[in-house]
Structure 1
Amino acid sequence: MLAPYRRLFARPGTAAFTLAGLLGRLSMSMTGVSLVVLLAERRGSYALAGTVAAAGLVTGAVGMPVIGRLVDRFGQARVTVPAALYNVVPFSGLLLCVRAGAPDWTLYLCWAACAAAPNLGGMARARWAHLLRDRPDDRHLANSLEQALDELCFMAGPVLGMVLCTTIAPEAGMLAAGGLGAAGALLFAAQRGTEPPLADRPAAGRHGSPLRMPGLRVLTLTFLGTGVIFGALDLTTVAYAEALGHRPVAGGLLALVAAGSCVAGLVFGTLRPSGPAGTRFLRGVAAMVGLLLLPLAAGLGGAGLALLGAALFAAGTGTAPTMVTGMTLLQELLPQRQLNEGMAIAVSGIVVGISGGSALAGVVAEHAGPGTGYWIPAGAAALALLIALAGRRHLAVAAESPEPAVGAAR
């Protein structure tokens, strides 16, 4: 299954930027659980931990497109290095404030200020899009690899963060995440040989937001629904396991979701794409709707944790193909000069969705029976499908912009 991926790394420099980007993404997947454990242990409040984390999600969703626009304008290395070095300051400030017992508002301020973290996943996909601009099949393979690496990080990162926080010190997870994030970003920026060149800018020297493109708006709203799925599925699964008296099993159940997505992403990459990307995207969202009925049925039917785990693994297999096709579609729709900003906007939609899905699932978990919260990811998937169907004509890869898209760039 992995043999087709070898040809991606035959190109000089591809393995180096992929591994560097993997370090940075591992850091991002560690920070959520590490921050919660740190604040719950040192401040004794899960509520404080949750709201501080939410503040970082909100500012991150705003900051990501800004960083993306700067990358499109000045280049990956010129933006990534100062952004990574800047981010070390508020990150360190948060740890110092926790250690010194500073007021709670300083925690919100420091974590909200960590909004300049470079989107290494998006920049890695931009590199692949440039390197493989004349090879759509290999670009599909590269996007599948990147999605599988994302899922691998979401499986390993929280576990690594929890182990460090509970076996060494509550601060250990955050310290490791900060070090990995800075190192990964700087090593990524150092790979100049694979960095995409700056695209030609309009004669006027200015351009508007890529959100003016209807296709990006449709994809961003659909990704927002996908984010709701992720956030609600995670929290509902934890609440369900706790209601059955098996809270420690929740981490393993969530790992099964990521494992299903990782396996599906790797398999999907080896398949030759058929038909327009917009049509494939609609099929992927429709598959998510059907597969998310499985954990809903298992949860409401009291099927037990073993069957729920199988249902969650199956549900996870629907997310990677959808995300891979969505990212491929973004690369085909967006002009090269706005690729990083456009992908950052789409990822921000996912981040906002995760935050909203977690909050909504938390309310349902407190006021309804175990398993009821699985209605939320199923409903969010159905809503995402309706959005994609309503905007399907904008998902056709056509001349939505007078400038060439990445797939046509030379």
Structure 2
Amino acid sequence: MASAVKDTRPGYGQLLRTPGAWTFLLPGFLARQPFAMLTIGIVLLVESTTGSYGAAGTVSAATGVSMALFAPQSGKLADRFGQRAVLIPGVLVHVAGVAALITLALAHAPLWALFAVAVPTGASTPQVGPMVRARWAARLGGSPLMPTAAAFESVTDEFTFVVGPVLATALCTGIHPAAGLIAEAALTLAGGLLFASQRRSQPPVHRAQADGRPRASALSVPGVRVLIAAFLGIGAVFGGMQVSLTAFTQDIGQPGINGVLYGIFASGNMLAGIACGTIAWKVGPRRRLLVAYGLLALATTPLWTVTAVPLLGAVGLIVGLCIAPALITGYTLVESLVPAGARTEAFTWLTGAVALGQAAAATASGQLADRFGPNSGFLVPLAGTVLALAVLLTLRAHLVPRSSTKIVGAADRAGAGSATDSVAGSSSGGREQEPNEAPDEAAESVGSVTV
């Protein structure tokens, strides 16, 4: 699909003037709020009924793992049958799952029963963020506005992580331990159905390749697998921060400031995201990702040593500032690495990786907090980012965009709707990208924005 916006003066103003953008942005914003409330809502409810951060973290982890495993399948179905067909039943199952989880937790049901309900609850979590990103990609094609759209979506995600945890914490601590999850279910129902009703902005359905064969998974693109490792590390930061901040504020007798501290952390992410969308990058996205991730690993290093609330807020802010550039660059690379027919699936793989990393980190941080004290949980974000950085450095060659991949069919290579081809053509004078071209030159041709 040709770009719907002139490729002049890329920026937020130009992005938001994209025809039809507001029809999916506003419902999408409402529908993605619950994503930031689910994990912290489960942690606060289960901890209040069991008295254990370890139990709370593991139930939350069960939700996150099932979300991570089922999200890519949801994305693949959305690519093939349309977002509405996947979203509506998912919303209804998720609301029912949350209701059952609240009922069992308040009834002091055994832990295995909470796990059994947490699985369908996480699996049915609406993947609104990836769906919004797929709508941007369908609207913009190979436009230079795509990195700006990725930045805008990162800012939107992080704004939800400013509002969501604060709202969930305030409801759980000020009204009732289950109030956060009740609000999450209500927002999921209202926002999800409203977003699903916006049919005109849905990406085209891609059921099969031109020769009739089913499309292979986005996971067959090596660069997507590398990005999954990176996003697992980012998820480790989110999960480790949520559980560790909760344990820390409970330990010092100030549980009410948990949401504030996490909001400061998310605010740093949001502010960095805003800045990233306004910068005319002269460095390729692969190099930007490596630098941003290195800074993130460095920023998480002192977390476990901090015992003062103001200092912890300051360090959390710095960690947040380092997350956004890595997230934005990763999502931008997906648009150039993956053809349109598998793009929603690719976005959900990354979102699922964040959820899986968050779940594993929540479990590990909860266990560490129970056994060795609240500060020990902050070691998890450090370990997760260091391991992911090692993978990125080792496999960075796979992050170079190519003019074709294993899952691009004949229609993708020939059609104007292929964002990968339109980017390659515009950046190399209409020729295909040669495999032996310098990696950063290839990355730069796709990722730079001229303002």
TM-score (norm 1): 0.89
Quote the residue 2:279 is aligned against.
271
For the structure 1 residues 113 and 375, does the alpha-carbon distance in structure 2 shift closer, same or farther, using more than 3 Å as the test?
closer
C-alpha RMSD of the superposition: 2.7
For the structure 1 residues 358 and 111, does the alpha-carbon distance in structure 2 shift closer, same or farther, using more than 3 Å as the test?
closer
Q: Aligned runs of 1:44-55 on 2, under 5 Å?
A: 47-55=54-62
Q: Does 1:336 align with 2:340?
A: yes
Shift of 1:243: 5.0
From 402, 412, 419, the equivalent of 1:406 is: 419
Shift of 1:26: 0.9
For the structure 1 residues 43 and 336, does the alpha-carbon distance in structure 2 shift closer, same or farther, using more than 3 Å as the test?
same
Q: Does 1:133 align with 2:141?
A: yes
State the aligned residue count.
403
For the residues of structure 1 that align with 2:399 and 2:40, how far apart are their CA atoms? 36
For the structure 1 residues 238 and 175, does the alpha-carbon distance in structure 2 shift closer, same or farther, using more than 3 Å as the test?
closer
- Equivalent residue of 2:200, what SS? helix
From 86, 97, 118, the equivalent of 1:90 is: 97
Shift of 1:102: 5.9
For the structure 1 residues 245 and 118, does the alpha-carbon distance in structure 2 shift closer, same or farther, using more than 3 Å as the test?
closer
Quote the residue 1:164 is aligned against.
171
For the residues of structure 1 that align with 2:308 and 2:109, how far apart are their CA atoms? 44
- Equivalent residue of 1:197, what SS? coil
Moved more, 195-204 or 180-189: 195-204
Contact kept, 8 Å, 2:58 with 2:363, in 1: the verdict is no
From 82, 85, 100, the equivalent of 1:75 is: 82
Quote the residue 2:12 is aligned against.
5
Quote the residue 2:266 is aligned against.
258
The runs of 5 or more residues in structure 1 that have no matched partner are: none
Contact kept, 8 Å, 1:55 with 1:108, in 2: the verdict is yes
Quote the residue 1:177 is aligned against.
184
From 16, 21, 26, the equivalent of 1:14 is: 21
- Identical amino acids, percent of aligned pairs: 33
Quote the residue 2:309 is aligned against.
305
* Matched letter for residue 23 of structure 1: L
* Matched letter for residue 128 of structure 1: W
Quote the residue 2:439 is aligned against.
none
* Matched letter for residue 397 of structure 2: R
For the residues of structure 2 that align with 1:167 and 1:240, how far apart are their CA atoms? 19
Shift of 1:113: 1.4
For the residues of structure 2 that align with 1:180 and 1:245, how far apart are their CA atoms? 31
From 327, 347, 366, the equivalent of 2:331 is: 327
Q: Does 1:285 align with 2:293?
A: yes
Contact kept, 8 Å, 1:222 with 1:384, in 2: the verdict is yes
Shift of 1:368: 4.4
Shift of 1:75: 1.1
* Matched letter for residue 406 of structure 1: A
For the residues of structure 2 that align with 1:53 and 1:181, how far apart are their CA atoms? 18
Deviations 1:83-139 (A, max 9, x none): 223333333333444566666544333331121222000000111111111312x11
For the structure 1 residues 370 and 69, does the alpha-carbon distance in structure 2 shift closer, same or farther, using more than 3 Å as the test?
closer
Determine which structure has the larger helix proportion and give its number.
1
TM-score (norm 2): 0.81
For the structure 1 residues 252 and 167, does the alpha-carbon distance in structure 2 shift closer, same or farther, using more than 3 Å as the test?
closer
For the structure 1 residues 232 and 76, does the alpha-carbon distance in structure 2 shift closer, same or farther, using more than 3 Å as the test?
same
Q: Does 1:219 align with 2:227?
A: yes
For the residues of structure 2 that align with 1:172 and 1:95, how far apart are their CA atoms? 9
Shift of 1:270: 0.6
Moved more, 37-46 or 254-263: 37-46
Moved more, 94-103 or 33-42: 94-103
For the structure 1 residues 209 and 11, does the alpha-carbon distance in structure 2 shift closer, same or farther, using more than 3 Å as the test?
closer
Shift of 1:341: 1.2
Contact kept, 8 Å, 2:36 with 2:165, in 1: the verdict is yes
- Equivalent residue of 2:366, what SS? helix
Q: Does 1:121 align with 2:129?
A: yes
Q: Does 1:107 align with 2:107?
A: no
From 204, 209, 227, the equivalent of 1:197 is: 204
From 382, 391, 403, the equivalent of 2:395 is: 391
For the residues of structure 2 that align with 1:319 and 1:127, how far apart are their CA atoms? 24
Contact kept, 8 Å, 1:229 with 1:381, in 2: the verdict is yes
Deviations 1:18-46 (A, max 9, x none): 12111122112122232333344456665
For the structure 1 residues 260 and 33, does the alpha-carbon distance in structure 2 shift closer, same or farther, using more than 3 Å as the test?
same
Deviations 1:219-239 (A, max 9, x none): 111111221222223333444
For the residues of structure 2 that align with 1:305 and 1:204, how far apart are their CA atoms? 60
Quote the residue 2:447 is aligned against.
none
From 364, 377, 388, the equivalent of 2:381 is: 377
From 236, 261, 266, the equivalent of 1:228 is: 236
Q: Does 1:359 align with 2:363?
A: yes
* Matched letter for residue 182 of structure 1: L
For the residues of structure 2 that align with 1:409 and 1:60, how far apart are their CA atoms? 33
Shift of 1:157: 0.9
